[in-house]
Amino acid sequence: MLNSPVDIALIFGAALLLFGPKKLPEIGKALGQGIGNFKRSMMEAKDEVAHALKTDESTKNVPASPTSEPETQASAGTSDANR
């Protein structure tokens, strides 16, 4: 893509001709802030996903409290004996 200093110089020269010397620093600043905001957002999203995974794993390790007792063999056998 940008393999040599000549390529970089051509792109910089074209930008200078298109935007002018006064507007170029403003564009560079805005571009830098945009990249910084994007990186910050990506890090926040990554941290949020890691926190969610950690929270999900910790809830899996908590033993569930039994709310209903399983059916026993004796109660199952009495229903068959009544037939």
Extents of the domains making up the chain: 21-60
Percent of the chain predicted with pLDDT > 90 = 52
Per-residue pLDDT, 57: 79
pTM: 0.53
Encode burial over 14-35: b for 16+ CB neighbours within 10 A, e otherwise: eeeeeeeeeeeeeeeeeeeeee
pLDDT tens sequence across 29-67: 999 999 999 999 999 999 999 999 988 878 776 665 566
Q: For residues 79 and 46, which has the higher predicted lDDT (pLDDT)?
A: 46
Per-residue pLDDT, 3: 82
- Residue 20, sorted as left (phi over 0), alpha (psi -120 to 50) or beta, turns out to be left
